Structure 1
């Protein structure tokens, strides 16, 4: 009878310890998950001005930040096509608050997560518009129209 009580006590201790171990592991997992979530929540968004300089000076970086397939197209006279990695043309002129490009009209709309810049010559058939969007705290070009009729 004594060995039966010893066996029951040993089984109870093993059961109790294994349950307690699981609670500690669950607590550690909950803590890790919470910390991971909090670090993503506090991760700061990429600075647009820094992105803007690099995007317009580094062709490899630029292609990595064009969210192909993008909205918009290239139109020049009768030639027309949508943008792909293969026909992409490097954009060298950074987004600017003001521009010194003579005859062109210019508009810039900026929010925390979207930049829309447009150049055009009134009544000419010429218009360039590009849109940048903050996606997962990184800036991407999501639309580019280059129209010259």
Structure 2
């Protein structure tokens, strides 16, 4: 008979739950459709700036502009050039119009098995 104050072998076996890494595509959809989720996954203060003509500032929670366009493999938007570089832990996407002063770059990084936006440069000169 087991003693009531001595854990049985069944209880001693620890349940080890493997923390799954967040799927980027699921994150990508939610990040670009849910504003509260988006702000929670921007790693403020982030690198990068907003530059529009003479207006220039760093991104903060207060001046953040909701990003509604998901990261995509292929983008067909008029004269824009597009590049997407993916690794297991970093995704870098760029849009630009050659010789125009327009460029957007954003980087998402896997931190603690969750994706975060860590860099956003939005330049329009």
Could you say whether these structures have the same fold, taking a TM-score greater than 0.5 normalized by the shorter chain as the test? Answer: yes
CA offsets 1:52-111 (integer angstroms, 9 cap, x no match): 000000000000000000000000000000000000000000000000111100000001
Q: Which has the higher strand share?
A: 2
Q: Does 1:96 align with 2:72?
A: yes
The one of 104, 108, 119 aligned to 1:143? 119
**Does the alignment pair 1:106 with 2:82?**
yes
The CA distance in 2 between the partners of 1:77 and 1:70, in whole Å, is: 21
CA RMSD of aligned residues (A): 1.7
Match 1:79 to one of 44, 55, 58: 55
Counterpart Cα distance in 2 of 1:93 and 1:43 = 28
CA distance in 2 between counterparts of 1:95 and 1:145 reads: 15
Distance in structure 1 (CA, Å) of the matches to 2:76 and 2:86: 19
1:136 and 1:92 mapped to 2: Cα distance?
Answer: 24
CA distance in 1 between counterparts of 2:103 and 2:75 reads 15
User: Could you say which residue in structure 1 is the equivalent of 2:38?
Assistant: 62
SS class of match (1:119): strand
Under a length normalisation based on structure 2, what TM-score does the superposition of the two structures give? 0.88
Higher CA-based Rg: 1
Q: Which has the higher contact order (CA 8 A, sep 6+)?
A: 2
Q: Where does the alignment leave 5 or more consecutive residues of structure 1 unmatched?
A: 1-23
Structure 1 outlier segments of 4+, above 6 Å: none
The structure in which a higher percent of residues are helix is 1
Deviations 1:23-42 (A, max 9, x none): x89xx9xx78xx57x53xx3
**TM-score, with length taken from structure 1:** 0.74
Deviation at 1:43, TM superposition (A): 1.3
